[in-house]
Amino acid sequence: MFDVDDIHPLTGFLRDHKAHLERLRSTGKPEILTVNGRAKIVVQDASAYQEMMEVIDTIETEQIVRERIASAERGESGVPANEVLTDIRKILNIDGV
């Protein structure tokens, strides 16, 4: 989550961008930049962003698997296992697709 120390005016970011970029890199936490006192932009270190995207991909994959298991348990006509595995391999970028 954000705390008040993570909220800065855009003009301050532009004026002292090196300090902001160092803080983003060292903490891994995003900053909210404001324009006229209103939140407008979120900036984040690239490696922290990549880590967040990997977590999201994992959650999405898990959700797909859960939905398909629930569907099979309800007796709904499902997707053949080889198609499920092919989908999972594509999502996870695993060779052998």
Single pTM value for the model? 0.64
13 HSE (CA, 13 A, CB side): 19
Query: Which amino acid is located at 68 in the chain?
Result: R
Predicted confidence (pLDDT) at residue 6 exceeds the cutoff of 90: no
Residue 79 is predicted with a pLDDT of 72
Cβ atoms of 91 and 61 within 8 Å: the answer is yes
Six token digits for residue 37: 């006192």
> Which residues contact residue 28 at a Cβ distance below 8 angstroms, ignoring those fewer than 6 apart?
45, 47, 48, 51
pLDDT in tens, 9-68: 999 999 999 999 999 999 999 999 999 999 999 999 999 999 999 999 999 989 988 888
Query: Which amino acid is located at 26 in the chain?
Result: S
